[in-house]
Structure 1
Amino acid sequence: MLGQSFQDLLARAKQATAQARVREAYQLWTEVLRLKPTNVEALFNLGIIAMTNGDVATAVGLLQSAHQAAPTEPMVLLHLANARAQTGDVQGQWDALQQALAIDPYFMPALLGQGQILYGQGKKRAAASMFRNAIKIAPLPSECPEWLKTPLAEAHQVVYDHMQELTAHLEGALGSTRAALEASVLERWDEAVSILSGKTTPYHSVCNQLHVPRLPAIPFYNTELFPWVADLEARTDDIRAEMMRALSDHGTDFTPYINYRAGQPVNQWQELNQSTRWASYSLWRAGVPDKANLARCPATAAALQAVEMAEIGGLCPNAMFSALSPHTAIPPHHGETNARLVVHLPLIIPENCLYRVGFEHRRWQEGKVLVFDDTIEHEARNDSDLLRVVLIFDVWNPLLSKAERDMVNAATSAVSAFYAAE
């Protein structure tokens, strides 16, 4: 019966604590401690109550006793550190946090606490490093406890300020060395400095389907690698004229590029799904020609025939006029395979349009080809009041040999056959 009575007492104390009935909780926990002087929950909760009431010396004593009774509980050490901080014992605070991290190196509140100590001592760079480690393991904002939101927000700000300071330092220190670089490698080293300072992270190739390992993740390719570029650019006016006729006479054939069925997960495409804000006039789709649209655009069809388009069963070639409405953004996304690259021939480009692949940003120029790896995160914006239109098609990655291209097709065909058999 005594054991049952104690359990009832314990349950009542916990309930009073949970419901913030502080006076009742204090009385109940005091009775628990009288019956069991080493009860960790009583020592801990009475320590918290004492700290809340401003009786910091009592709080330190109770929390130290709680730690002795439960030496592997990091949360006890966290509150002991907070109590010591209120007495001005910064070293004791640090030691308690260090003990908590020795128990659990991923105990984020202790990392935040040590970062706060370092920041208070004027060691802002060391604090930023500590805060960065805490941020890496922080819960999602929707899952973050209220008591951690403010310290985390402050940590983010310190890390951001540190990044800005380090970026400025690196730019100043490396300025003369950077000036000696060839223009073709400037963006590589600007990105390297950005990664070094923590401003950005590396952008990798992420394929939705076939990933060919060991191909470099190059955002924009040098167009000199593609002998057909000059000829294609020379045909811009004819291609644009056909696009304008298609837009005028067959505007309803510009259909939503994003077209998920009901019930399919749309993720970042929710705003553009089944919307003509991003519309396409298809010439080739997943390896199948749109004969009617190609017949309406003979100059464009001839230009595409002069290009070595990628041919991957069930995937390529693709070609289309891509129309992006005013004040519309295509969210960051990744493509299907790095075995192919994507080409843009800009046809109608108002001001305030921007394209990003990985770290690099480009402004389209009418009649100037861009070739890029769309498996690197990329996005587009049309912040103008006018329509933006580009011709888009895909070509083989020039780093693949003929035998490797055959391997790409063999692999994709084998996968298709595997699923078709069921």
Structure 2
Amino acid sequence: MTRADAEHLARQGVEALRRGDGASARASFEAIVAARPADFPLPWLALAQACRLSADTAAETDALQAQLREQPRHIAALLLMGDRKRLDGDDRAASNFYTAALNQAAVSRDVPPSLHPLLRQAEAFKQDTNQRFTAHLEAAIPAAPPARVAQSLDLLLGRRDLYQQQPSMFYFEGLPQRAFYDRTDFDWVAELEAATPAIRAELEAITEGFAPYVEGNPDRPLPNNPLLNDPAWGALHLWRGGEMVAANAARFPATMAALAKVPIPQIAGRSPMALFSRLTPGTHIQPHHGLLNTRLICHLPIIAPSGCGLRVGADVHEWRAGELVIFDDSFEHEAWNRGSETRTVLLFEIWKPEIDADERAALTQLFEAIDAYGPPMLDQG
């Protein structure tokens, strides 16, 4: 078959499709496919449309599969296959093909306008299918499943975003992906929380000492943080870089006594680390990740007005005065003060409980060696 012959048959087939004559159109396109003329694209999509007019579902599917073998990301073929699966009652397969078509259309520069209605239909079908799938699963599971099952179900259904530990400096392998820890799992917490009134009294007795939490170092590139050198996010350090800030510590004897009973890591040049973190009304700490996933950050809320919140991963927490919050800051996290009063927490770090004594000793040596190579990296929010 010459190219001219193939073009003639293709025109005949297209005219037959326009007349709604599936049998004649199919005969023309199948003749081209059988001959496989050189340098002439095989009309698989047109053949699939002719087979649909002829109510031959199997042949329509074969033609679409042939097109997708040649061009796996052919948008029109993906849409037509999705529609075929929808008509066959296979919603999951239809949703998969529609999703592939929508994803490909999203990254394609020139999507033919003729496909826009089909893409909108695909999006509407996906939304409807997701609602039915959600209803199906919710009917099949207990009304109040265990917390981890409920969270995993929310991930499956797209009601919850997936966050993982992404420390900016050091990742320790094999730790659980857990954003918040239960304060009742730590036997020292109750005594620390009981000291909250005494700590608050010391805090309210001072009138100065806070500096911006994020400060620039002239020997390093400035951090890309909108709160750089901004006292709206303030810090009053009691321990910094493993060294006691004596002038501040002297003003907080009850606070220092309470911290002395907390298992804060001892890492030369790095820890202990303890400070008051202050957030003024209207301030927003943008989403960011901490340096390490080997530690947990602890917030003892001293002044916790309404309108303040902390998001770690997908979970949001509101501080309550005197109730310790323990979280993994290697997850993306952010904080805000949308109230009318300043929020202040006592902030310090502890080892993650899953890290055993030998590992802590080895990590301490490793972190000290890292810092000995040059100035240590600091948390900059």
Q: Per the shorter chain, which TM-score range? A: 0.7 to 0.9
Partner of 1:289: 244
Code of the residue aligned with 1:235 in structure 2: it is A
* Contact 2:308/2:336, CA 8 A, preserved across alignment: yes
Partner of 1:367: 322
* Contact 1:191/1:359, CA 8 A, preserved across alignment: no
| Whole-Å separation in 2 of the counterparts to 1:294 and 1:72 | 80
Code of the residue aligned with 2:264 in structure 1: it is M
TM-score normalised according to structure 2 size: 0.73
Code of the residue aligned with 2:305 in structure 1: it is P
Distance 1:327 1:398, change over 3 A: same
Q: Paired residue for 1:300, among 255, 259, 264?
A: 255
* Contact 1:283/1:291, CA 8 A, preserved across alignment: yes
| Whole-Å separation in 2 of the counterparts to 1:163 and 1:287 | 52
* Contact 1:282/1:293, CA 8 A, preserved across alignment: yes
* Contact 2:213/2:277, CA 8 A, preserved across alignment: no
- 1:309 deviates by 0.9
Task: Confirm or deny that 1:414 pairs with 2:366.
Answer: no
Q: Deviations over 1:156-210 (max 9, x none)?
A: 66545544443343333222572xxxxxxx3212112112334335432222222
Code of the residue aligned with 1:337 in structure 2: it is L
Task: Confirm or deny that 1:335 pairs with 2:335.
Answer: no
Partner of 2:142: 175
Partner of 1:216: 176
| Whole-Å separation in 2 of the counterparts to 1:177 and 1:372 | 25
* Contact 2:297/2:348, CA 8 A, preserved across alignment: yes
Distance 1:296 1:177, change over 3 A: closer
Q: Paired residue for 1:257, among 187, 207, 214?
A: 214
Q: Deviations over 1:44-79 (max 9, x none)?
A: xx99xx99xx8999x9979x9799655889xx867x
Structure 1: gaps (5+ residues):
1-33, 179-185
1:95-244 superposed matches below 5 A: 95-105=62-72, 110-119=77-86, 124-133=91-100, 138=104, 144-145=108-109, 147=111, 158-176=125-143, 178=145, 186-200=146-160, 202-244=162-204
Code of the residue aligned with 1:310 in structure 2: it is P
* Contact 1:229/1:369, CA 8 A, preserved across alignment: yes
The SS at the match of 1:147 is coil
Q: Deviations over 1:279-308 (max 9, x none)?
A: 333333343433333233332222222211
The sequence identity of aligned pairs, in percent, is 32
- RMSD over equivalenced CA pairs, Å: 4.4
- 1:402 deviates by 1.8
| Whole-Å separation in 2 of the counterparts to 1:273 and 1:154 | 48
Distance 1:124 1:393, change over 3 A: same
- 1:369 deviates by 0.7
* Contact 1:308/1:395, CA 8 A, preserved across alignment: yes
Distance 1:154 1:418, change over 3 A: farther
Distance 1:414 1:122, change over 3 A: same
Code of the residue aligned with 2:189 in structure 1: it is V
Q: Paired residue for 2:299, among 317, 320, 344?
A: 344
The SS at the match of 1:384 is coil
Code of the residue aligned with 1:372 in structure 2: it is F
Instruction: Compare relative contact order (CA 8 Å, sep 6+) and give the higher one, 1 or 2.
Output: 2
Distance 1:202 1:109, change over 3 A: farther
Distance 1:265 1:393, change over 3 A: closer
The SS at the match of 1:347 is strand
1:316-331 superposed matches below 5 A: 316-331=271-286
Distance 1:255 1:169, change over 3 A: same
Code of the residue aligned with 2:315 in structure 1: it is E
Q: Deviations over 1:133-173 (max 9, x none)?
A: 556x658x6x6526389676765665455444433433332
| Whole-Å separation in 2 of the counterparts to 1:291 and 1:377 | 33
Distance 1:100 1:339, change over 3 A: same
* Contact 1:260/1:274, CA 8 A, preserved across alignment: no
TM-score normalised according to structure 1 size: 0.67
